[in-house]
Amino acid sequence: MGSILRKRRLASALLALALLHHGATASASDGLNSPALRFSGFATVGAVKGGDDNLGFRRDLARTGVFDGDADWAMDSLLGLQLDLRLTEKLDGAVQMVIRDRLDDVLENQVEWAFLRYRFSPDWTLRVGRIGLDVYALSEYRNVGFSYLWVRPPVEFYAPVAFYSFDGLDLTWSRPLGDGMFRARLYGGRTGNDFEVGDGVTGLTLEPIIGVTLGWESDHWQLRMTMSQTEVEEEQEYFPGLQPLADALEQVVLLWPEATNLQANLKAGGSKVYYHSIGAAYTNAPWQVQAEVGYIDSQLDVYPALLNSYVSIGRQFGAVTVYGMLADSDNQNERIEVNPPFIPFLPVESAQLAFLGQALQTAFDNTSMDQSSLSLGMRWDVRYDTALKVQWDRTWVSAYGSGIWDTKVAPEDDQILDTFTINLNVIF
């Protein structure tokens, strides 16, 4: 029901696009002085077809999956609107709204970012407000389909990080270095998102989040290295949605002594998660190569440590670029096996323990992300502001490693799934 409403809202927002588009081009060519106010935007309209009866394809963890090989229009479609405001030569600000399918579609969540920026000098810049999170190379602009080659950033790499922005501040220092420009960025603040757990939606807040990004960019090369550290806020004792399981475990300790340890495995408050990544992109017509390697070090058993990577090669033929990509996410933790005891003279209680054990096993198995994909696709620059893309992904999901997918029952065997996507991307 909610999903239908969300899709309807998305559709009407996308329809409004044509009108806005007309208005934007008119205002952009008016003034001769640098405009104090600038309006711009981006949009993606497209369909994805994938999933089976058990595993639902999703773009990131904070989404509802697409099952049964159905076609879904809401997964990738979105509309982004941005307003840039220049107050003085040194002070400016910007607001970006993204209207798309989300679990909790309130205005506060639609504001992708909103910040004030102060340029101390050509080298130093400070921003305060809600700012894009650049844990990985495409993190900050993964909504802007027109700006990258594929139909979406590889899920093996980008789905595990379901946080798009943070509330806080960042400081950037940039300097020419060799043939290119060196940039160092330091940031800190808090972030959060909503996740679907069972039939409900629960929020997870990470506070503080701090990080550093080092990058070097030249005509052909983009190199970057990032490190960031987050902590689940102390008040959040258990991972979203796992409180009932933890409570149930507490009540069966007398019958099942191991329950205490398992309960500890569900704890979240105060746990730290570290994100590390290195990435490189090389562009020299007609070739375009890009790769990233990331390591997520986690103290959470329900968000296991992960080594992920991808490499993509594209070749241009006029306005068309054909590409191939390999992506991999490799769970670094041992599978936690839950074995509730069977007590012969307490058959009813034993059955309840078995049920609880099953729920707990599902909670652990559904968070393990172990899979690889091969993708082939094509981007066609129809016009200077419009790109049409198609992509096919074949994904090999390891047994008990389907955490990237919206999982009903963690599969005991390896699975192979195909996903097809077509979308149209515009900027204005």
Partner 1 sequence: MMTRTVRILICLMGLLLAAAASAEIVVVVNKQNPVDSLNRRELVDLYMGRTQHYPNGTLVLRLDQAPDSETRTLFYRQLVNKSVAEVNAYWARLLFTGRASPPQVLDNSASVLDAVRKNPNAIGYVDSRDVDNSVKVIGRVD
- Rule CB under 8 A: say whether 299 interacts with partner 1: no
- Find the shortest distance in angstroms from Cβ 140 to partner 1: 4
- Rule CB under 8 A: say whether 292 interacts with partner 1: no
* Nearest to 353, CA basis, from 361, 239, 410, 302: 361
- Cα torsion 76, 149, 296, 98: sign: negative
Distances (CA, A) of 34 to 24, 137, 341: 16, 30, 73
Tell me whether strands 180-197 and 165-177 are parallel, antiparallel or unpaired. antiparallel
Q: How far apart are the first and last CA of the chain?
A: 32
Residues 6+ apart with CB under 8 A from 298: 271, 272, 273, 274, 304, 305, 306
DSSP 334: P
- Find the shortest distance in angstroms from Cβ 327 to partner 1: 20
- Find the shortest distance in angstroms from Cβ 274 to partner 1: 23
Site track for partner 1 across 213-242, x = CB under 8 A: ----x-x-----------------------
Site track for partner 1 across 120-159, x = CB under 8 A: -xx----x---xx-x-----xx-xx-xxx-----------
Q: Of 345 and 384, which CB lies nearer to partner 1 in the complex structure?
A: 384
- Rule CB under 8 A: say whether 34 interacts with partner 1: yes
Spatial separation of the C-alpha atoms in residues 113 and 181, rounded to whole Å: 25
The correct pick among 5, 184, 253, 319 for binding partner 1 (CB under 8 A) is 319
Angle value at C-alpha 211, between 208 and 213, nearest 5 degrees? 160
DSSP track, 336-362: PPP-----TT-HHHHHHHHHHHHHHHH
Total binding residues toward partner 1, as defined by CB under 8 A? 48
- Rule CB under 8 A: say whether 260 interacts with partner 1: no
The correct pick among 14, 35, 330, 333 for binding partner 1 (CB under 8 A) is 35
Q: Which residues bind partner 1 (CB under 8 A)?
A: 28-29, 31-35, 38, 40, 42, 80, 82, 84, 89, 94, 96, 113, 115, 117, 119, 121-122, 127, 131-132, 134, 140-141, 143-144, 146-148, 174, 176, 179-181, 217, 219, 285, 319, 381, 383-385, 387, 427
